[in-house]
Structure 1
Amino acid sequence: MKIKRIAPADFECRYMTAVPPVFKTRDTPLQIFDIRETAAFISLPTPLYRPDYNFIVHLTKGTASQQVDAAVKHISPHDVLFVKNGNVTALLETSDDVEGYVVIFEDSTLRHLLSKEKLVRLFSAGTVIPLPDEASHWLTPLFMLLAREIYQPAPDLEICYSLFQAALLKIIAADKGQHKSVNRSSEITFAFKELVYKHHVEERSVAFYVDKLAVSVNYLNRCVQQTLGTAPKEWINKVNIQHSQLLLQDFTKDIAAVAFELNYEDPGYFGRLFKKITRLTPSEYRASLMQSLS
């Protein structure tokens, strides 16, 4: 299974049966789409892909299911789904009555709009953020204005950025789990996680990340333990095993081939590590996948 990197314009070519008139990808670092106008044209489920952009989904009606890395996320009205650049994802299903907006944006857009503290808060949030009804209703007209401006013949990007910045700040403020202050420990952990997502297949030693972050082993251990409740090595292993769960969805590959693809020279060690993290052997995990498909 080859997981492709997908740019915004690629999605319509690969995963849509037709392109509705309202679905117009723009050559801008910020784009927005009305789910009501586009959902019926998407071939479901999409294959797993790795977007080279970030996106949020805000549902106002109906439901959807999205795989993000190895987990399936179920989205209900007033939820916001946040998929980061580099996550592996697939849209699995949507209800017939689904409504809301999808906003896609580049990393540069986030850095332009949010302070480092707010950026860490956003990236530390859960994949699905349930919003209070008031906050969700507040977002809807704002996204309508954003869509109206973006689809002008000559959109004013500063207006677009200001509207989207307001939406992000509202989401961050409404996320009850993110009211802790952001400190140096949180920033180091945030940077560590981003490096692990980028390099975990080739680099599993803590020394590599310590060198990249220019901190000591003890300091990285303390930061990651305080923030994630686990040691850096355990987090690296967890991300690697999550990646292996995606590869195991390709039933044409044997388990040893998956282990070798992730640079585990000993398939037996890979199997023991997989069971330690998931409580299933790779064979048991694959059997559970086949059972769910049947």
Structure 2
Amino acid sequence: MKNDTITISKIVKNVSQKYNEGYYTVCWVKDEIKGLEIDGVLYPNMSNSIFFLDKKVNWKLYIKDDNSNSGYILNLADEVLSHPLLSKLHISQIRMFNTGTVPLLKLSPGIEKRTQAILEMIDELLGSHLNNKEDALISLLNTFFVYCDGQCNIKTIVDKNHTKANIVYAFKQMVDQHLAKSHEVSFYASLLNISTRYLNECVQEVLNVSSKNIIIEQLLIRSRHALKFTNKTIKEIGYELGFSTPDYFSYFFKSQTGVSPSELRKSVTS
């Protein structure tokens, strides 16, 4: 991977990018900015948000005069998103970097801290001369994109007339809130006062994945984060995520990822 295939910079001044500059861009706006203009459309007074900008769009970012650090801009070349680890994600280029609509994540305070930590590590790694730097960068990007996909709204604004999209949006919010209570699709269908079959139909049509996949994805996101960034025991993590026994948690994690929780933790600390 060439040195310029991944670049990252803090948002400390007005910045712009033209469609022919060849990079996909992840723009994380932390502190409030004056606005982000995309193909002539201004999104004013944005804060605590992530934009995914296709390389075919023109965009300009306007910061406030008193802002010393408003977030990060991460630029990625084609070959980065084509990496085997990233290409396996169902949050593909089509879903993430879409010229028809601009995917936007609104972040809660807790998610904001995790986002900042990942981007700061990417910034630090890019300026280092560590061995296996490329592998570490791809791993961080994978964690970032998987986490984003789990938290992402279906659209920046859900169409009030699109009933199925609203149902799926509500489902994802409920999974985020009640994940430790239940891992069963039927539980969330009951909360929504619809049948399990209809919920599955809605999720498949809107997101092109199964309802169960959404639940599994959230469990894996939270598992990985806890294993990598906390000192909680595997037993504690399993119980906090709603697994009945540590053995069942380990079985679930290994069946989904190919490695056990202890193996993942060991790989991070070694």
| TM-score using structure 2 length | 0.47
| TM-score using structure 1 length | 0.44
